[in-house]
């Protein structure tokens, strides 16, 4: 009898042990799926947090790079047109602001007095009858023009590099530093958008060409006085085109028939006008 009871007790204990193992070692599909889902959620949240942190860092860098200081034009800023080798015009052009050339003689200024609403400065007695002779003023202005070019051309860490591969027609340009290692073509209208204090600097390693009848339009309060086109090559504006901003040209600036500019033309060689209009902002 005792042996029978012991046998029964052993069976009961073994059944309990097997049941316990099943509970501890058995796989519950629902529990496993919940654990995987929780793990995936945590990983997703971590990735999202890392992405947000990276985006925030990028935006901060962008904001810092876009907070440009203006280009100091010095005495050159008082001129609508300043040139080192001459200013010529096909009559009748219209310039609102002072013009001048240096170091070339005043004979290289071929505009008539009635084409300029402002003063015409010459380094000597040659030039239009209404000229003002002031070699000293012009010398300082030209040095300031060259310093402004060097400053603007030397700005680094551009916000935009080779935008549009050099063809920017149809684009809206916001504030910041732009750099092209090539020429820039403007075959269709563009917009420059920003507020009244935003600074725009466009560095062009080649030429700057704008097609006929194409317009640059300002939007949102952007001002021509805060826009600087720094061009190593020549600048050409097609017939009846309209441009905005200060042009710091290392070579020639050419305006074809009926072209207009709201800005300044500061050229280290010659400026040519053909029944064109320039208004100093």
Judge contact between 117 and 127, C-beta under 8 A.
Answer: no
pLDDT by residue for the chain (281 residues), tens only, comes to 444 444 444 444 444 434 444 444 444 444 444 444 444 443 443 334 343 333 333 333 333 345 799 999 999 999 999 999 999 999 999 999 999 999 999 999 999 999 999 999 999 999 999 999 999 999 999 999 999 999 999 999 999 999 999 999 999 999 999 999 999 999 999 999 999 999 999 999 999 999 999 999 999 999 999 999 999 999 999 999 999 999 999 999 999 999 999 999 999 999 999 999 999 99
**What value does the CA radius of gyration of the chain take, rounded to a whole number of Å?**
35
pLDDT of residue 67: 78
Judge contact between 233 and 215, C-beta under 8 A.
Answer: no
Q: What percent helix, strand, coil does the chain show, rounded to 5?
A: 35, 30, 35
Quick one: which H or E segment has residue 31? helix 29-66
pTM for the predicted model, two decimal places: 0.77
Residue with structure tokens 């070692």?
A: 25
Q: How far apart are CA 151 and CA 141, in angstroms?
A: 15
Spell out the residues 6+ positions from residue 117 whose beta carbon is closer than 8 angstroms to its own: 94, 95, 96, 97
pLDDT of residue 10: 47
Q: Which of 183, 143, 151, 150 is nearest to 164 (CA)?
A: 183
Question: Which pair of structure tokens corresponds to residue 208?
Answer: 């700057």
Spell out the residues 6+ positions from residue 13 whose beta carbon is closer than 8 angstroms to its own: none
pLDDT of residue 75: 98
Q: How far apart are CA 252 and CA 122, in angstroms?
A: 19
Spell out the residues 6+ positions from residue 222 whose beta carbon is closer than 8 angstroms to its own: 175, 192, 193, 194, 195, 196, 198, 200
Question: Which pair of structure tokens corresponds to residue 210?
Answer: 């704008």
Q: How far apart are CA 149 and CA 152, in angstroms?
A: 5
Residue-range domain boundaries for the chain: 74-275
pLDDT of residue 72: 98
Q: Which of 218, 217, 261 is nearest to 236 (CA)?
A: 261
Quick one: which H or E segment has residue 267? strand 260-267
Please state the length of the chain: 281
| Residue 109 DSSP class | B
pLDDT of residue 138: 98
- HEC states along 205-219? CCCEEECCCCEEEEE
């Amino acid at each position: 009898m005792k042996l029978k009871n012991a046998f029964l007790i052993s069976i009961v204990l073994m059944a309990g042990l097997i049941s316990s193992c099943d509970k501890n070692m058995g796989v519950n599909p629902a529990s496993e799926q919940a654990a995987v889902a929780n793990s995936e959620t945590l990983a997703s949240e971590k990735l999202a947090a890392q992405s947000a942190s990276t985006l925030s860092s990028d935006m901060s860098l962008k904001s810092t790079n876009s907070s440009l200081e203006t280009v100091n034009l010095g005495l050159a800023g008082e001129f609508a047109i300043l040139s080192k080798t001459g200013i010529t015009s096909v009559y009748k052009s219209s310039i609102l602001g002072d013009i001048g050339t240096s170091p070339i003689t005043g004979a290289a200024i071929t505009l008539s007095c009635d084409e300029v609403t402002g003063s015409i400065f010459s380094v000597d007695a040659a030039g239009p009858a209404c000229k003002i002779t002031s070699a000293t003023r012009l010398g300082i202005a030209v040095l300031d023009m060259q310093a402004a070019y060097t400053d603007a051309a030397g700005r680094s860490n551009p916000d935009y590099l080779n935008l549009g591969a050099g063809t920017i027609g149809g684009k809206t340009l916001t504030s910041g530093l732009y750099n092209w290692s090539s020429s820039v073509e403007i075959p269709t209208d563009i917009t420059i958008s920003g507020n009244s204090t935003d600074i725009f600097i466009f560095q062009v390693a080649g030429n700057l060409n704008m097609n006929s009848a194409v317009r640059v339009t300002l939007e949102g309060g952007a001002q021509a006085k805060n826009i600087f086109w720094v061009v190593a090559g020549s600048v050409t504006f097609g017939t009846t085109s309209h441009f905005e901003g200060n042009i710091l040209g290392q070579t020639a600036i050419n305006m074809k028939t009926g072209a207009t500019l709201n800005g300044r033309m500061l050229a280290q060689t010659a400026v040519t006008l053909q029944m064109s209009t320039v208004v100093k902002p």
